[in-house]
Amino acid sequence: MDLGNTAYIISRLVLGAISSFLAIVLWSRTRDLAWIFVIVSAIISYIETVHSILSLLGIITDNTLPETAVLIISIFLSCMPTLFIIAAFSVMALQKYRRVK
């Protein structure tokens, strides 16, 4: 592994860890559903980062899990953060729409 890959992996892990830590700290202090969706999105995004790095390093291989399980996990982890952000924006829009009426 060269210096570029190492810097890529370390930056993704460090920034994702900071984002997840701050999301967890914020989670205990917020009651707004939209923010909770954003927080869950950040946490799942970090889980996806860790999963993809473990796959890149060869720690998680196709031999450890059935092929369909690997595919389902990869699709789930890559799509869920975006779905939670969509849900957060939808909740925010509905909250703003109700206040305007």
Residues 4-29 have pLDDT tens digits of 888 988 999 999 999 999 999 998 88
Q: Which domain holds residue 87?
A: 3-100
Helix, strand, coil distribution of the chain in percent, nearest 5: 85, 0, 15
What does the pLDDT read at residue 54?
86
Domain count of the fold of the chain = 1
Q: Is 73 exposed, middle or buried (0-12, 13-18, 19+ CB in 10 A)?
A: middle
pLDDT beyond 70 at 89: yes
pLDDT beyond 70 at 35: yes
Specify the pTM.
Answer: 0.83
Cβ 13 vs Cβ 50: under 8 Å: yes
Distance CA 77, CA 82 (A): 10
Distance between the two ends of the chain, CA-based, in angstroms?
58
Q: Please calculate the CA angle 55-20-92 and round it to the nearest 5 degrees.
A: 115
